Structure 1
Amino acid sequence: MKVALLIVDMQIGCREETPAKRSFDLAVEYINEISQYFRSKSYPVVIIKDIEVGSPDTEAFDCVDNLIITDQDRVIHKQHCNAFWETELDAVLKAEGVDGVIVSGFAVEHCVLFTYNGARERGYQVYLLQNGVAGYDEEEIKRIQLLRPIINYQALEYFL
C-alpha cells in the first residue's frame, strides 16, 4: 500500500480564528514529525490550502511558520471543505500510485472531516492522524477521533 499524508489548512488565518490555539500548535508539531518520516520514505506529502482563508497573496493564506514544508511537497488550493472537490488532488494521488491517505490538519469538524469523507468516497483507505488534527473545540476533536479510524506514529513505523 502506498500512502500519502494530507495536511489540510494549517494556515496563519486558520490559527488566528481558532480559540484552540494550543491544540493547533501541538498538531503542527506532530504533523512535522510524521511529514519528515513520510519524506524519508519517499511517500507523498500534500499541503492543502483553503483560498477562503485569504487570497494567495495575503499573509493569512500562508501556512504557519513552524510547519515544515519542502520543495518535494505538492501544494493544492481548494475552495470547498472537501479537498477532493473541484481540485486536482485525486489525479495527483492516482498519478503517484497512492491507495491510502492519512488526513491531518485543521479544522477537524469541517475541512478535515469532509476531506476524510471525500477520500473514502473515492476508494482510498483513510485514517485521521492521531494528535495531528486541530479544530475549534477540544471536546469535538476527541469525539470525531472516537468515530473514525486513527493512526499514530508508532503504527505508521510498523506498517510503512
Structure 2
Amino acid sequence: MKRSKKIMFCSAGSVLLLVLVLFAAIYWSMRPTTGTPINKYATPRAALLIVDIQEDYTGPQAKKRYRDGDRIVTVSNALLAQAQANGAVVVFVKNVIDNPIMSALMGGINAPDSPGAEMDRRLIEIPAAVTFQKSRPDAFSTPELDAYLREKQVDQIFITGLDGAYCVSATARGALNRGYKVTLFQDGVATESSKNIEELAKSWRQAGAQVKTGSEI
C-alpha cells in the first residue's frame, strides 16, 4: 500500500513538473524579442506584413475559424493591392506548430507541411513577396525576417492578421523593439481573445505603434 502511494505521489509530481515546464515555455515564447536597432537609410522603404492569415484559421476548412476571418482577408487584399502599386515590400508570415505536445494540445492546427498551415488561398498573390515561417508569436523570432527587412532597407512596417492579442501584438512589439515604425490596421486584425479590438488598439498605441483603418490607406 505504501509503495502504491509513493508511486502515485511520484507520478503526480512528474505531471505537475511537466505542466510547470510547459507553462514556462509558453510564457517565454509569448515574450516579444529584442534586437539591434535598424539603421537610418537614405531611401527607406515600407513593408506590409500579413501575419497568420492561414487556411486553418480563415479558410473554408478551417480547424479554428475566426469569426472575422472574411473581413481581414478583404482588408488585407486591399492593402496588398496598394502595396503592389506602390512598390512596397510584401511579407507573408505563417505560424507552424512543430512541437508535438503543443500540436496535440492545439488539435493539429498549423502542423508542418499541412494544407492548413498555408496562407489563405484567397489572398492576392504578389510575385515579389516572400514567406517566412515562425513557431513563436513574434515573427521576429525568425532571424531571417529581420535580416530580409534590413536588406530591403525597410524602416516602416504595416501589419494585418491575427491574433490581435498574441501574434500580431508580439510581432508589432518585436518590430518596435528594433526601431521600426509600426502601423496596425485595426479592421485588418482579428482576435478571439477576451479583449476587443478597441482595447487592443489602445495597448498598441501605448506601445508606440500607430493604428489606422484600411480606408485610410
Structure 1 CA distance, aligned partners of 2:158 and 2:55? 22
Matches within 5 A, 1:106-125: 106-125=162-181
Alignment match, 1:152: 213
Secondary structure at the residue paired with 1:99?
A: strand
Match of 1:66 in 2: 122
Superposition deviation, residue 17 in structure 1: 4.7
Q: Percent identity?
A: 27
Opposite residue 55 of structure 2, the aligned amino acid is: I
| Aligned residue number for residue 76 of structure 1 | 132
* Corresponding residue for residue 2 of structure 1: 45
Q: Give the Cα separation in 1 of the matches to 2:136 and 2:89.
A: 22
- Distance, in Å, in 2 between the alignment partners of 1:136 and 1:66 is 21
What corresponds to 2:54 in structure 1?
A: 11
Q: Find the aligned partners of 1:20 and 1:51 in 2 and give their Cα distance.
A: 17
Q: Which runs of 4+ in 1 moved over 4 A?
A: none
| Structure holding more helix per residue | 2
Structure 2: where are the runs of 5+ without partners?
1-43, 98-109, 205-209
Aligned to 2:75: 30
Q: Distance in 2 between matches of 1:20 and 1:154?
A: 22
TM-align CA RMSD: 1.8
The corresponding residue for 2:183 is 127
How many residue pairs were aligned?
154
Could you say which structure has the larger radius of gyration? Answer: 2
What is the letter of the counterpart of residue 102 of structure 1? F
Please, which runs of 5 or more residues in structure 1 have no aligned partner? none
For 2:91, the equivalent position in structure 1 comes to 46
Contact 1:127 1:151 in 2 (8 A): yes
What is the Cα deviation at residue 18 of structure 1? 4.4
Q: What amino acid does structure 1 have at the position aligned with 2:45? A: K
Q: How much has 1:137 moved relative to structure 2?
A: 4.3
Q: Secondary structure at the match of 1:33?
A: helix
TM-score by length of 2: 0.66
Amino acid at match of 1:10: I
Which structure has more RCO (C-alpha within 8 Å, separation ≥ 6)? 1
